[in-house]
Structure formats: structure tokens, C-alpha cells
Amino acid sequence: MPLLEMKNIVKEFPGVRALDGVSFTLEAGEFHSLVGENGAGKSTLMKTLSGVYPYGTYEGDIIIEDQVRQFRGIRDSENAGVAIIFQELSLVKELTVGENIFLGKEPSKLGVINWSELYHRTSKLLQDLNLDIDPRVQVGNLGIGQQQLVEIAKALSKEAKILVLDEPTAALTESEVETLFAILRKLKARGVGMVYISHKLGEVFEMSDRITVLRDGKTIGTHNAAELTKEKVIELMVGREVGNIFPECHHDFGETVLEVKNLTAYSIDAANKKVVDGVSFHVRKGEVLGIAGLMGAGRTELLMSIFGAWPGKYSRQVVVEGRNVSLDTPASAIREGIGFVTEDRKRFGLILEQTILDNMTLAGLKRISGAFLTNRTRETIAANGPMKSLRVKANSPLTVAGTLSGGNQQKVVLGKWLLTNPKVLFLDEPTRGIDVGAKQEIYAEINKLAEQGLAIVLVSSELPEVLGLSDRVMVLHEGRVTGEFVRKEATPEKVMAAATGNH
């Protein structure tokens, strides 16, 4: 008898059959990956398991340890030993790390929260995980990678029998991923069953016992990982063979569009600590400039400081098309023709409660609708363009963004910035959480934009992505430029050497 059995699960949303009779089993001590394209139904399946979608809102049976379960909410599933780490971070930014981890189950004596106990237990948990994070720091002040690790610590604090991880490594560095995997191996040895959702097939193959592929809400198959290859999994996912995912690039560079001189930015919590140190660069019309570096190298801080969005102190000179511009705020950066697809789509990219249409037209509202801010017809046409070209999977532009699958949300963010008609587009981790098929589409789109004369600055922790798309690669290490390579010379070895400071 398996630890978990999900039988013929059907889940419908208005107009969408997200799960169409999915079956899934998990053994104790098994690492079982769940893969599929954006919108295939992976997150939805795990939300039925965890009671986010309560009993009665789906069809089919959820059986844990031989008992049919009828969860009314997350608390019920937690009590049955299920812990889930959601794709979208669900920490409260205003609370500290410790407060977040013990939210709703704070250790208390006579009804009073025992703070020293809470922080003591948090420290211990973080130490167990080898995480160097201050339990008393506000979560909002942590980088997105560290927030993700706090989320994982929180799930582990529940001592689950079934642990669900929905894209847990999207924001982690390689060494953080290794830390996480070491923890997961330990849990596996203790008999914890794990469901692992990821678009990173390397990780899937490194860890999995079995792999289940979903497509369009249906189970395509469950196989032993040893019997599959990456190519085969991709084929099962998208239902066709996928060739080279990077486009052929022939970019003709024009004049310099953006020049940044001597940019220095300081840490938010330690005002004297430089996170970017004297960086200068330029990018030309029609050029893709890749910025490589490890997490913490200062790549996001660099982009945010140019854009006028870095919350810490910073100084720099910005020249757009030969003119000195001040760019004190994101609004002024947008006016000067800079677009910014950010890595944290909830914070800067997307308003989950609003429709795709509203989201896509937010930043570009003025430009798109001219003098009439309520010209819905033109907006709809405008929003339909990128919705089509990026293949956003949704019924209509009036679909609420929060109901889209993770990858499709990312496409909406990209579409929104394209509508602002930028001269320079900053892309910070543009394909985080995006499936291979859709990645290929986004790469083609980036290439097309460059061919049309857009200057693009690309930050990505996926080295193949930086190398596959960039005409020139600038490498940062601890806030400084440690290398610059044109396409022909940018080999993984050289870039990694510069990124680790061994140049």
C-alpha cells in the first residue's frame, strides 16, 4: 500500500478543466518528480492534496496511509502529515524569519508567546539546515533566494511524512541547491515521501526515483527515472520533439543606447557595505548584453539602481542616447524608455488580483491609450498581441493574473513591458519557472526584439541561457566586473572562472 494515492482527480475552474482524471502515487521514502509544461496542472494537483482546494471542490479520492481523506483546509492536511512549499512564496514580508516559521504555532507559556524559545528553535532549525540567516531579521529584507530557504525551513519544522516542493530551487544558488538536496536525502532516508515539481530536469534526474509527466491536466505516464532520458521527458511533456532551444542570432549593433558610469550601490541593512562597486558598461541598439555572476554578485542590485528602484543608497551616472538623465524613480526610467522584467514578479511585476489586461497595460498605460486612459478597445488589442505571441495560456485578457499558472504569469510580466515600447529592456531571470517549450518561445522573442533594434540587458543564473542569447557577456563577482567576453570567446569555463573570482 503506497503512502499516498490520488485517484482520478478532476478539478475544474470556470472555463478550465485543470485536472482531468489524474492519478498519482507516492511511496514512503520515495522522491517522485512531477513535471509538465506551464499550466499542465502540477500546482493544482498538489493544492488538492494539501487542502487548499478542500474536499468537495474536486472529484476523485485522496488516500493517505490507507485512509480516504477529506481535508477542509491546509490545517487538516498538515495534521495528516502533509507539508507543502508553494511555488509563490507565502511568507509575510513584515514579520521576522522566526515569526514566519512559527506563525500560528508560536511556542507560548500561559498564553504569552515565548520569544526566546521561538528564536532559539528558529536558530536551531536554521543551523540544522546549514543556513546562515539571522532569525530576527525581517523577511522582506532578505533576498529572494534566502526567502525561499526560510520557506523550506518552515515546511521542515512541521515534520511531515509527505513533503511537496513546488519549484523550490528557482531562486537558489548552486551551493544552496546542494544544501537543500543534502537535507532532502536525509529526509528520504527517514522515510519521508517527496513530491518534487521542477522545470530543471538536471535536478529531477539527479534526485528522482520516479517521474510522472502531466500534460493538459492528464497523466501522460509514470516511469522509473532510470528508464528515462531528458530528451524523452521533454518529448512527453510537450508532445513533440524539441530541437535546439536557442535561436540563430544575427544582430547588427547600432549606436550606444544606454551607458552607465561608475555605479556603486550599498546594502540595505549594512549601509557601508557595497553590493555593487564602481561598475561601468554600455549596451548598443540591437545588442543583447548578458550579465553573469553567482547569486549575491550584485546583478539585480545593479539593474535596480539604474532603474531608480534600489531601496538602499546608490550613485551613478546614466546616459540614454547621449543625454545625461537622472532616473530618480522607476517612473522616470520608464519615461526614458527603460523596461524592467524583474525576478520577483509579485513585488514589481504583477498584481495578482488584477486581470491580464490591467497588468499588461499598467506600466504602459499612457503610451498605449494615448490621451484617453480608459480606451479599453485599444488596450485589449495591445494586450492581445503579446498574449498571442508569447502564447499565454488563458481564456481571455480579462482572466485574473493570480489564476494563471506560474510560467504564464511570467509571460504576462514580459508582455506588459513589451507594450511600453522600451529602447532598453532589462530582463532579470526572465525564464524562471518557465517550461522548456515556452522557454524556446521566449528566447525567440528576445532574439526578435534585438533584431528589431532593442537593446537588451539579460541577467540569468542559468549559464546556458546567458551564453545562448548574449552577444557580449559581462561577469560580476562580489559587485565588481571581473570579465567581459564577446560571444565567440564566452565559454562556460571562462565565465565561471570570472564569476568565482578566479580570473
Ligand X SMILES: Nc1ncnc2c1ncn2[C@@H]1O[C@H](COP(=O)(O)OP(=O)(O)OP(=O)(O)O)[C@@H](O)[C@H]1O
What is the residue whose three cell numbers read 526515483? 209
Q: Is 44 in the site for ligand X (CB under 6 A)?
A: yes
What is the residue whose three cell numbers read 509514470? 222
Q: Is 87 in the site for Mg ion (CB under 5 A)?
A: yes
**Which residues 395-424 are close enough to bind Mg ion by CB under 5 A?**
406
Q: Which of helix, strand or coil describes residue 197?
A: strand
Which one of 41-49, 60-68, 125-133, 272-280 is the stretch in contact with ligand X (CB under 6 A)? 41-49
Helix 376-389 to helix 406-418 angle, to the nearest 10 degrees?
120
Q: Is 135 in the site for ligand X (CB under 6 A)?
A: no
Name which of 260, 257, 362 is nearest 303 in CA terms: 260
* 40 contact, one of ligand X, Mg ion, none, CB 5-8 Å limit per kind: ligand X
CA atoms within 13 A on the CB side of 441: 21
Residue 170 beta carbon to Mg ion: minimum distance, rounded to whole angstroms: 11
Question: Rounded distance, CA 6 to CA 48, Å?
Answer: 10
Question: Rounded distance, CA 475 to CA 496, Å?
Answer: 9
Residue 435 beta carbon to ligand X: minimum distance, rounded to whole angstroms: 6
Contact mark string toward ligand X, 7..26, x via CB under 6 A: ------x--x-x--------
Given 6, 33, 36, 210, the residue binding ligand X (CB under 6 A): 36
CA dihedral 355, 359, 365, 369 (to 10 degrees): -40
Q: Is 217 in the site for Mg ion (CB under 5 A)?
A: no
What is the residue whose three cell numbers read 498605449? 368
Strands 4-13 and 112-113: unpaired
Given 4, 25, 26, 38, the residue binding ligand X (CB under 6 A): 38
* 355 contact, one of ligand X, Mg ion, none, CB 5-8 Å limit per kind: none
Residue 306 beta carbon to ligand X: minimum distance, rounded to whole angstroms: 29
Residue 449 beta carbon to ligand X: minimum distance, rounded to whole angstroms: 22
Distances (CA, A) of 1 to 68, 111, 129, 251, 456: 13, 42, 32, 58, 54
Structural contact between residues 503 and 483, judged by C-beta atoms closer than 8 angstroms: yes
Question: Rounded distance, CA 95 to CA 140, Å?
Answer: 8
Name which of 159, 166, 150 is nearest 100 in CA terms: 150
Which one of 223-231, 294-302, 399-407, 476-484 is the stretch in contact with ligand X (CB under 6 A)? 399-407
Which one of 42-50, 201-209, 359-367, 376-384 is the stretch in contact with Mg ion (CB under 5 A)? 42-50
**Which residues 84-113 are close enough to bind ligand X by CB under 6 A?**
87
Which one of 83-91, 181-189, 279-287, 450-458 is the stretch in contact with Mg ion (CB under 5 A)? 83-91
Between 207 and 404, CB nearer to ligand X = 404
Q: Is 497 in the site for ligand X (CB under 6 A)?
A: no
Name which of 166, 232, 228 is nearest 194 in CA terms: 166
Q: Is 337 in the site for ligand X (CB under 6 A)?
A: no
Which one of 37-45, 172-180, 257-265, 459-467 is the stretch in contact with Mg ion (CB under 5 A)? 37-45
Report how many residues bind ligand X under the rule CB under 6 A.
Answer: 20
Q: Which of helix, strand or coil describes residue 169?
A: coil
Question: Rounded distance, CA 116 to CA 108, Å?
Answer: 10
Residue 41 beta carbon to Mg ion: minimum distance, rounded to whole angstroms: 8
Structural contact between residues 282 and 384, judged by C-beta atoms closer than 8 angstroms: no
Given 51, 293, 308, 406, the residue binding ligand X (CB under 6 A): 406
Under the rule (CB under 6 A), what is the footprint of ligand X?
A: 13, 16, 18, 36, 38-44, 87, 393, 403-408, 435
Under the rule (CB under 5 A), what is the footprint of Mg ion?
A: 43, 87, 406
